[in-house]
Amino acid sequence: MRPDRKKHYIYYGSFCLAIFIASIFLSMRGTADVSLETLSALQSQEAEKISPGTVFLDEDKKIDALDHVILHDSQKEKTTIWIWDFADHDGDYVQVLADGHPLSDPFMIKNTARKLSVPSEAVIQIKGIKDGNGGEGITYAIKFGANDVSYLNSIDEGKHSTFELKRK
Amino acid sequence: MKRVLVNILSTLYFIAVLLPVMLLIFLMPVFFLIEVGSMRTSGFIEPFPALAIIGFISLFIAISLLIPFFRKAYDVLPWLFPFVKILLTNTLILCTGLAILSYGYEEYNQARHAEYFWYMIAFLFAGRLLMCMYFKWRPAFKASQEVTEHEA
């Protein structure tokens, strides 16, 4: 083999190797947190003081669809919520409504939390728009800034889950 | 004996790995069109393992170019190197275009969908234009051509 041809092969081969390494870095995402706290949170479907975006499971798992009444002592007019996919990021879509009014267009939930501002006293509904690849329903976690608690929940397409925010 | 073994290994790698990789990158425009069509029809992202595909294709091509006895395929088939170079670049452009469209489809909003669809079209056009300019400046077949000229 001539050296000029070999040089081209090695240059392009190294370029391909660089693409491979870059693709590994780009596709890396957080692995599931398997601490005792997260395991108990999975059973109770509630967790205090966890960071928005915490991944609890590597794969989707059917959990109960629950509604909650949230009592808090925040005096502010608005509070923050974070919503994310706590399991496999598989293309689930939801829409957030406050007192029946949409707060945004339907959006895809990912492992990275999406932040929204909602009234401190309102009925927050999470509407299931599309179940992605998992087929286990739409699984999501929602954290309320008002009481610093995260709730793990699931909904089916077209259904709602409800969180009623009330001051104590 | 060693030469025969090297030839067998090289041929096996070509048939079992390089041929499927070439088929995949050759058919990538079809997969791309199916994926875009399905997103445009449903309005939702259909998860497509673009990064995994690019990663594995690049790895197998890198192995075939960096390990000396796997390079034999490129010597026997002079068209193979430019073929791989052009189609891998094309695959990178298509997958980046798909990533742009997917970003737009993260929200269900027709205006946003249309906006990102046109961003994707603009990116594909610019990407292909740059690719053509690059390969005109540095022809993909240069490596093979140089040898042919030398040998002649």
Alpha helices in chain B (DSSP H): 2-13, 19-42, 50-66, 72-76, 80-104, 110-137, 142-151
- Rounded mean pLDDT of B1-24? 88
Q: Which of A13, A26, A130 sits opposite B65 (nearest CB)?
A: A13
Q: Which of B55, B106, B147 sits opposite A2 (nearest CB)?
A: B147
Distance, CA of B139 to CA of B152 (rounded, Å): 20
Residue B87 scores a pLDDT above 50: yes
pLDDT recorded at residue A15: 94
CA A108 distance to own-chain centroid: 9
List pLDDT tens digits, range B108-142: 999 999 999 999 999 999 999 999 999 888 887 65
pLDDT recorded at residue A18: 96
Identify the band that residue B25 occupies on the pLDDT scale cut at 50, 70 and 90.
very high
pTM for the predicted model, two decimal places: 0.85
Residue B151 scores a pLDDT above 50: no
Identify the band that residue B145 occupies on the pLDDT scale cut at 50, 70 and 90.
low
Query: Of B35, B46, B59, B102, which to mutate for an interface test with A (greatest number of A Cβ within 10 Å)?
Result: B59
pLDDT recorded at residue A84: 92
Using an 8 Å Cβ cutoff, are B140 and B82 in contact? yes
Using an 8 Å Cβ cutoff, are B82 and B138 in contact? no
How close A136 comes to chain B (CA, Å)?
16
- Mean pLDDT (chain B) is 88
Task: Give A108-141 as a 3 state SS string.
Answer: ECCCCCEEEEEECCEEEEEEEEECCCCCCCEEEE
CB contact under 8 A, B58 and A4: no
pLDDT recorded at residue B106: 94
Averages of pLDDT over runs of 10 residues in chain A (168 residues) are 75 94 83 69 78 79 84 88 87 93 93 92 93 79 90 90 89
pLDDT recorded at residue B142: 59
**Which two structure tokens, joined as six digits, stand for B28?**
């990538």
Share of chain B above pLDDT 90, in %: 65
Identify the band that residue B9 occupies on the pLDDT scale cut at 50, 70 and 90.
confident
List pLDDT tens digits, range B62-76: 999 999 888 888 888
User: Quick check: B24 contacting A, CB < 8 Å?
Assistant: no
User: Quick check: B92 contacting A, CB < 8 Å?
Assistant: yes
Distance, CA of A97 to CA of A105 (rounded, Å): 10
What single string gives the DSSP state of each residue in B68-104? GGGGHHHHH-TTHHHHHHHHHHHHHHHHHHHHHHHHH
- Rounded mean pLDDT of B12-39? 93
Identify the band that residue B152 occupies on the pLDDT scale cut at 50, 70 and 90.
very low
User: Quick check: A14 contacting B, CB < 8 Å?
Assistant: yes
How deeply is B148 buried, as exposed, middle or buried, from its count of CB atoms within 10 A (0-12, 13-18, 19+)? exposed
User: Quick check: A12 contacting B, CB < 8 Å?
Assistant: yes
* A133: chain B residues, CB-CB within 8 Å: 47
* B138: chain A residues, CB-CB within 8 Å: none
CB contact under 8 A, B107 and A106: yes
In this structure, what are the phi and psi dihedrals at residue A158, rounded to the nearest 5 degrees?
85, -10
